[in-house]
Chains A and B, each alone.
Chain A
Amino acid sequence: MRRITELAVIISLILGVSVLLVLAASILIPGVEVRQLAFFYLYTTINPWFQNYTVNSPEAVTAIVWDYRGLDTLFETSVFYLALIAGLALARGLFSETLQGSFNEKTSGLSTIVKTVTRVTAPMIIAVGASIGLHGHLTPGGGFQGGATIAVIPLVFIVVYSAFFLIARGVTSNKMLVLRSIGLLGIGFISIATFLIGLAIGRFAYVFQNMPKPGAIVGLPADINGALISGTLWFFNLFEMIAVAAGFTIAFIILLLAGRGGSGGR
Chain B
Amino acid sequence: MDAEFINTYLLLVTLTSLLANAIISIYGLFFKPHYTKKVIALTILSDTMNTFAIYLGYRTWVNGVNPRPPVLTSTPTEKSISEFTARAVDPLPQALVLTAVVIGLAVTLFLVFLGYILYTHYKTLDMREIKKLKG
Contacts and interface: CB of A to CB of B under 8 A. Distances in A.
A39 B113 contact: no
Contacts of B112: 87, 255
Contacts of A30: 55, 58-60
Contact of B103 (A17, A37, A79): A79
Given A24-B15, A49-B78, A94-B120, A59 B71 contact: yes
Interface residues of A, number: 57
Contacts of A31: 59-60
A224 B55 CA distance: 37
Given A28-B15, A72-B99, A86 B76 contact: no
Contact of A45 (B59, B72, B98): B72
Contacts of A227: none
B33 interface: no
Main secondary structure of the interface of B (DSSP, over half): helix
Contact of B121 (A46, A60, A73, A265): A265
Contacts of A58: 71-73, 76
A58 B88 CA distance: 12
B102 interface: yes
B100 to A, nearest CB: 9
A4 interface: no
A30 B37 CA distance: 34
Nearest to A45: B72
Contacts of A83: 106-107, 109-110
Interface of B: 8, 11-12, 15, 19, 23, 55, 57-60, 62, 69-73, 76, 78, 81, 84-85, 88-92, 94-95, 98-99, 102-103, 105-107, 109-110, 112-114, 116-117, 120-121
7 contacts: A42-B84, A42-B85, A43-B85, A64-B91, A87-B110, A87-B113, A142-B98
